[in-house]
Amino acid sequence: MKKNLFLSGALLLNAFAIFAQDDLTKPQTTEVWEPQPKIVTPADNNAPPSDAIVLFDGKGFNEWETLKNKAVEWALKDGAMTVVGGKGNIKTKKTFGDCQLHVEWRSPIESDTLKGQMKGNSGVFFQQRYEVQVLNNYQNKTYANGQATAIYKQHIPLANACRKPMEWQTYDIVFTAPRFRKNGSLERPAYITVLHNGIITQNHVELQGATEYIGTPQYKMHGNGAIELQDHGNAVSFRNIWIREL
Ligand code: MG
């Protein structure tokens, strides 16, 4: 009886395989028509595409606030914002999950006595926890997992694509937020992809947890979060910041 069941099962599978094989001779069988991707109109020169949320267009800090929800006190000049050391990190008023972020930044010219992490340090944090490092690594050596586009202390960049100080640079970052179960345990880690000046430096790397300066990263359950820019005491500038929710 068991053998018969096995045989009829095998015959059925075989018949299905022949049917499917027949179907696969037609190109139409593997075409998918619905749903159609939404239409997004691209823009030239890194300008925001049609469905982007503009976070900074050079005119003001209306999308930003301090970590204590107060008015931003960074400098605003010539379409750029610049860190004023001691005024603290700033964050977006809106919060985000999975997203594509475009941000342009510029290292200041600083004294040669400043080295390593002391040179043009800032950072782009996703959900106020996961840092993509901003650093002047043009002829400036530091620990590899702490240089520009490092997932700070977690992932070394695939390349050093830094331009000189006072030259504008682009980050295009795809962030996939972590997922948590109801009991707070991690269901799926966060992932990040980074293009620095058009060069891929992080290829869908898995994050080990929230960025830590000291010690090992860990995940703690959270929901959507703001984009945060770091005040590390260096006069790093930012411009043309936009985001697409995914
Ligand atoms: Mg930093």
What's the gap in Å between 21 CA and the centre of ligand 1? 55
Which has more confidence, 6 or 170?
170
Distance (angstroms) between ligand 1 centre and the Cα of 78 equals 24
pLDDT of res. 1? 46
Position 17 pLDDT exceeds 90: no
Token pair 């995940």: residue = 219
Question: For residue 23, what pLDDT band results from cuts at 50, 70 and 90?
Answer: confident
Tens of pLDDT, residues 52-78: 999 999 999 999 999 999 999 999 999
pTM of the full structure: 0.90
Tens of pLDDT, residue by residue over 81-113, are 999 999 999 999 999 999 999 999 999 999 999
Tell me what the pLDDT averaged over the chain comes to. Answer: 93
Percent of the chain whose pLDDT exceeds 90: 90
Domains and CATH numbers, the chain: 53-245 (2.60.120.560)
Q: Measure 133 CA to ligand 1 centroid, in angstroms.
A: 5
User: 13 pLDDT exceeds 70?
Assistant: no
